């Protein structure tokens, strides 16, 4: 089993949960440790309850894990909600002047901090947080210097006095813990590696920059807004035009306009905004103008639970827009993949002149992960497809009719000239049109031409399928159970498989990244060999299971589903697998024990 250490910090929104989290994340990544952070929060700016989990370790940390080693409750509410999660060997650091601990399990170390005796609380309102960070690092066996450096960076804009005040408070917490509390049994190791720590939203924004995106526009919507924020903050350096638009209908159409003029163009939203974009996706397909749309799923329907995760938008993506048209849909597998996928899907969208949809979710969008800087490849291949960007200034006339924008070809791809190129004028039309772009929806209605155009566009599906690799099975060939997931559940299923193997149940995993094209035959070939198949997904109705069945007629032996707004933890899957292998049920819906 991977050795990890997890910290939970809970408090009210506005109480400063994020800052200690950022400090821990920086210190861990600079120690060469991997980390995964997930913040369970509410749609409230001040008050309520928010709970940040940071898990670290020398090997890849792919999810929040099952165990908390350290709890830092910043108020009584957080203590009351979470103390019961702690088990033997873990500890709880709290302000003993404002918080009463309650009853902890056997072997849990309660660590009261007499905050006003250690710091001037009248001067520094977040002194308890800083003391706790100092105390925690001491108990983890991390030298104070690392914290001193991070605090200096954190507060340097506020001046030397603020820096030294915070270092003083942290030092007091660090020293107090050294004399009063037991250090953790496993001092955090150090490696020579250095990782970047980033959210899925930042990864997708940077992936866009790597893909050569020149136009990004959005309407703010949780949990996708982080993409807009990175883009806006880096637009000038990266040479990207970033616009905030009046609504998502405007967003997708503006993105299509920019794409039509010849630049790579991207936008991100969540389910509700995506619903407004669907007519525009059809336009992208009909004009054969590529655009990439990111959907960061949150718990729906309607406004739903804006700060909670779900994989409930799959069928919306599959059916987005009326009529049949080619599209590519992919779900990134982890935060590193959020970066990698964007240049890939742009190449597909550009080559096949169709919309590309990235099906992300809150878990990845707002979660944070340590990623090797080498995996953030800004030199990823860029393939713009059959794009005509210039031609000799021959004539202002297009009378020869040589250039046909929608020329019928075997691949279904017609070379695309962008406005401004001499001799290639044409109209790109939303109505059905012939090879010239002339409308065949009114007086020139023609069933033969309509059929030919429909077949031309849909032929691109064959090319897209060939351009996208089929999924592969991970883990041992011979396994008692095959777990099938898609997108963001990759990490948690992977860890569940490891735990199952340790417990004597060999398990393997089939994780789907490309949803369209699906490669149904390849999936069937894999699943035919499986002894017991279970589909794991973060939604109520088994959207992927239904999709897989509709494409392949495959019916799994069981399902594990979760739709409470929170992500899976490894033990949810492990316990459900055992339950199902024992023949108790075919559908497991694990309960989330962390109350946020």
Partner 1 sequence: MATALAATNHVAMSDLKGKVDPDWCPGCGDFGVLAAVQKALVDLQIPNHNVVTISGIGCSSNFPGFINTYGMHTLHGRALAVATGVKLANHELTVLVTGGDGDGFGIGGNHFVHSMRRNVDLLYIVMDNQIYGLTTGQTSPTSRLGMKTKSMPFGSVEAPVNPISLALAAGATFVARGFSAEQKHLTELIKQGIQHKGFSFLDVFSPCVTYNHDNTYQWFRPRVKKLEDEKGYDATDWMAAMGKSLLWDEEIPIGKFFERTDVPTLHGAEPVLDDGPLVHADNRIPKDMTRTFIEELM
What residues between 342 and 381 interact with partner 1 by CB under 8 A? 373, 376, 378-379
Contacting residue, 388, 438, 452, 527, with partner 1 by CB under 8 A: 438
Q: Tokens for 67?
A: 């165990």
Pick the stretch among 12-20, 161-169, 180-188, 213-221 that binds partner 1 (CB under 8 A). 213-221
Min dist. Cβ of residue 177 to partner 1 (A) = 27
Contacting residue, 423, 491, 517, 558, with partner 1 by CB under 8 A: 423
Q: Is 202 in the site for partner 1 (CB under 8 A)?
A: yes
Contacting residue, 110, 162, 388, 439, with partner 1 by CB under 8 A: 439
Name which of residues 278 to 337 contact partner 1 (CB under 8 A).
279-280, 283, 287
Min dist. Cβ of residue 444 to partner 1 (A) = 7
Q: Is 393 in the site for partner 1 (CB under 8 A)?
A: yes
Pick the stretch among 415-423, 462-470, 487-495, 557-565 that binds partner 1 (CB under 8 A). 415-423
Q: Report helix angle 520-528 to 543-552, nearest 10.
A: 100
Q: Is 396 in the site for partner 1 (CB under 8 A)?
A: yes
Q: Is 177 in the site for partner 1 (CB under 8 A)?
A: no
Burial class (CB in 10 A: 0-12, 13-18, 19+), 352: buried
Burial class (CB in 10 A: 0-12, 13-18, 19+), 547: buried
Distance CA 185, CA 488 (A): 32
Min dist. Cβ of residue 382 to partner 1 (A) = 5
Name which of residues 18 to 47 contact partner 1 (CB under 8 A).
29-30
Residue whose entry in the numeric block shows the structure tokens 């009584």: 76
Name which of residues 522 to 551 contact partner 1 (CB under 8 A).
none
Q: Is 196 in the site for partner 1 (CB under 8 A)?
A: yes
Residue whose entry in the numeric block shows the structure tokens 């007499």: 114
When the beta carbons of 121 and 287 are compared against partner 1, the nearer one is 287
Which residues are CB-neighbours of 49 under 8 A, at least 6 positions away? 10, 11, 12, 13, 42, 77, 78, 81, 596
Name which of residues 233 to 272 contact partner 1 (CB under 8 A).
234-241, 243, 245-247, 249-251, 253-265
Distance CA 181, CA 109 (A): 8
* Residues 41-54: b if buried by 16+ CB within 10 A, e if exposed: bbeeeeebbbbbbb
When the beta carbons of 440 and 484 are compared against partner 1, the nearer one is 440
Return the number of other C-beta atoms located less than 10 Å from residue 445's C-beta.
11
When the beta carbons of 160 and 247 are compared against partner 1, the nearer one is 247
Contacting residue, 106, 145, 397, 448, with partner 1 by CB under 8 A: 397
Min dist. Cβ of residue 486 to partner 1 (A) = 27
Q: Report helix angle 127-140 to 18-30, nearest 10.
A: 30
When the beta carbons of 168 and 422 are compared against partner 1, the nearer one is 422
Distance CA 129, CA 125 (A): 9
Q: Is 418 in the site for partner 1 (CB under 8 A)?
A: yes
Pick the stretch among 83-91, 152-160, 191-199, 354-362 that binds partner 1 (CB under 8 A). 191-199
When the beta carbons of 211 and 500 are compared against partner 1, the nearer one is 211
- Maximum distance among all alpha carbons in the chain? 89
How many residues comprise the chain?
Answer: 596
* Contact status, residue 10 vs residue 43, Cβ threshold 8 Å: no
Alpha carbon 106 to its chain centroid, in Å, reads 37
Contacting residue, 88, 400, 410, 443, with partner 1 by CB under 8 A: 443
When the beta carbons of 46 and 237 are compared against partner 1, the nearer one is 237
Closest CA to 402 of 432, 373, 422: 422
Min dist. Cβ of residue 205 to partner 1 (A) = 9
Distance CA 245, CA 280 (A): 15
When the beta carbons of 174 and 230 are compared against partner 1, the nearer one is 230
Q: Tokens for 252?
A: 């997708």
Q: Is 195 in the site for partner 1 (CB under 8 A)?
A: yes
Size of the site for partner 1 (CB under 8 A): 80
**Any bridge partners for residue 269, and if so which?**
295
């Amino acid at each position: 089993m991977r050795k990890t250490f997890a910290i939970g910090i809970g408090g009210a929104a506005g109480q400063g949960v994020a800052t200690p989290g950022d400090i821990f994340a920086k210190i861990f990544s600079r120690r060469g440790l991997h980390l995964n952070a997930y913040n369970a929060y509410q749609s409230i700016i001040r008050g309520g309850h928010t709970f940040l989990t940071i898990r670290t370790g020398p090997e890849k940390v792919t999810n929040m894990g099952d165990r908390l080693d350290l709890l830092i409750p910043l108020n009584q509410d957080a203590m009351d909600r979470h103390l019961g999660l702690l088990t033997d060997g873990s500890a709880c650091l709290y302000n003993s002047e404002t918080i009463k601990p309650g009853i902890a399990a056997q072997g849990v170390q309660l660590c009261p901090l007499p905050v006003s005796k250690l710091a001037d609380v009248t001067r520094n309102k977040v002194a308890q947080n800083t003391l706790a960070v100092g105390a925690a690092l001491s108990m983890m066996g991390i030298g104070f210097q690392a914290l001193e450096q991070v605090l200096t960076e954190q507060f340097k804009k506020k001046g030397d006095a603020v820096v030294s005040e915070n270092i003083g408070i942290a030092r007091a917490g660090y020293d107090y813990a050294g004399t009063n509390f037991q250090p953790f049994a496993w001092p955090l190791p150090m490696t020579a590696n250095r990782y970047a720590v980033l959210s899925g939203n930042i990864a997708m924004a940077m992936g866009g920059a790597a893909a050569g995106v020149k136009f990004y526009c959005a309407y703010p919507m949780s949990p996708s807004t982080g993409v807009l924020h990175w883009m806006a903050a880096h637009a000038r350096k990266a040479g990207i035009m970033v616009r905030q638009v009046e609504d998502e209908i405007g967003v997708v159409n503006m993105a299509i306009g920019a794409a039509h003029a010849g630049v790579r163009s991207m936008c991100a939203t969540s389910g509700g905004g995506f619903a407004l974009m669907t007519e525009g996706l059809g336009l992208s397909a009909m004009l054969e103008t590529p655009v990439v749309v990111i959907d960061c799923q949150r718990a729906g329907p309607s406004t739903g639970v804006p700060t909670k995760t779900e994989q409930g938008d799959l069928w919306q993506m599959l059916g987005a827009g009326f009529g049949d048209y080619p599209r590519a849909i992919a779900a990134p597998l982890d935060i590193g993949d959020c970066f990698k996928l964007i240049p890939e899907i742009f190449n597909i969208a550009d080559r096949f002149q169709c919309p590309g949809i990235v099906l992300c979710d809150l878990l990845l969008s707002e979660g944070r992960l340590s990623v090797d800087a080498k995996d953030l490849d800004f030199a990823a291949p860029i393939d713009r497809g059959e794009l005509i960007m210039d031609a000799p200034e021959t004539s202002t006339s297009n009378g020869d009719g040589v250039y046909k924008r929608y020329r019928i070809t075997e691949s279904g791809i017609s070379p695309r000239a962008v406005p401004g190129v001499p001799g290639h004028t044409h109209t790109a039309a939303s109505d059905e049109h012939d090879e010239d772009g002339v409308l065949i929806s009114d007086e020139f209605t023609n069933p033969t031409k309509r059929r030919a155009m429909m077949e031309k566009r849909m032929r691109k599906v064959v090319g897209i399928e060939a351009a996208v690799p089929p999924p592969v099975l991970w883990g041992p060939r011979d396994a008692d159970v095959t777990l099938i997931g898609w997108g963001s559940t990759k990490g948690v299923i992977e860890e569940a498989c490891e735990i199952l193997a340790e417990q004597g149940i060999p398990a393997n995993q089939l994780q789907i990244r490309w949803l369209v094209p699906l490669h149904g035959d390849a999936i069937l070939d894999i699943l035919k060999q499986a002894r017991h198949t279970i589909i794991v997904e973060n939604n109520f109705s088994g959207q992927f299971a239904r999709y897989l069945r509709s494409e392949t007629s495959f019916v799994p032996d069981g399902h594990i589903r979760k739709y409470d707004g929170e992500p899976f933890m490894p033990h949810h899957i492990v316990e459900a697998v055992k339950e199902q292998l024992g023949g108790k049920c075919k559908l497991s819906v694990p309960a989330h024990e962390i109350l946020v």
